[in-house]
Amino acid sequence: MNKHSIPEKELVAIILYISLFLMIVAIVLIIFFYFTRKKIIQKELEKKDLILQYQKEQLHAVIFTQEEERKRIAQDLHDDISSKLNIVSLNTHLLSAPNLTAEETNEITENIINLTTKALENSRKIAHNLLPPVFEKFGLNAGVEELCEEFESSKAVKVHYKNEIDFDEKEIDRHLHVFRILQELMNNSIRHGKASQICISFKNIDSIATCNYEDNGLGFDSENTHNQKGLGMKNIDSRISFLNGNIQINSEINKGISVIFTF
């Protein structure tokens, strides 16, 4: 037997030690990968929870906005339509009263005609606000053009509108969100910003439909997040989310507002 050969017992011991070492390394690696994987899964779950929470908040904002819109419509119907029709009904009953003079009959009839005409006009306005016929028939570009004309008709503001996009008529449901966003922005410019000039433009930037909106109103401090958490802005954020777009709002006090959003 070679004197330099390793004794069999020592060889077995070496093999056992190596095997034990490899087993320990394997266990350590398994534990390491287990906890690493667990952390990754935990982070993914946390990310999904955040996404779900955000979606819930967006859905809540949409539902809340819809309810507010329904209340407004119900109020308009009650104040403008119902009240006028009630007076029409009362005047109609007056016509059946005995001993009415021709002059009284003519006066009551004229009141009925005037009130009915106003009720019809107001009902058309309410229906128009729900879904403008021009938008439904001719699409976003025509709808925005009419919207600009309506705001200009008040003589309080001048609206400059430019469009460089050929809108797809098949996406009218998505375009309705864009229309509502502009409607909200323009209302804010008039009511809160007291703007006298509004500029709106559509263009494709890197094949992405983009809208630029500006006014020369009072503006606000856009660094203050509280200024961007009103019902109107929540409504806009919800619509941007549905469009899978992005929105950037910049404003300074007495320097108007600048909004860029994609859809």
Tokens of 203: 């263009």
Let me know if residue 21 belongs to a domain: no
User: According to the model, what pLDDT value does residue 199 have?
Assistant: 95
Question: Has residue 176 been placed in a domain?
Answer: yes
Phi, then psi, of 146 in degrees rounded to 5: -65, -40
Q: Does residue 61 sit within a domain?
A: no
For 191-236, how does the pLDDT look when each residue is reduced to its tens digit (9 = 90+)? Answer: 888 899 999 999 999 889 999 999 998 888 776 655 555 556 777 8
83 in any annotated domain: no
Using the predicted structure, report yes or no on whether residue 18 has a pLDDT greater than 60: yes
70 in any annotated domain: no
Q: What is the CATH number of the domain that holds 136?
A: 3.30.565.10
**pLDDT digit string, tens, across residues 118-166:** 888 777 777 666 677 888 788 899 999 988 988 888 788 899 999 999 9
Say if CB 48 and CB 105 are below 8 A apart: no
The domain containing residue 227 runs over which residues? 132-262
**190 found inside a domain:** yes
In a domain, 9, yes or no: no
Strand arrangement of the beta sheet that strand 257-262 belongs to:
158-163, 197-205, 208-215, 257-262, 247-251
Total domains in the fold of the chain: 1
92 lies in a domain? no
pTM: 0.57
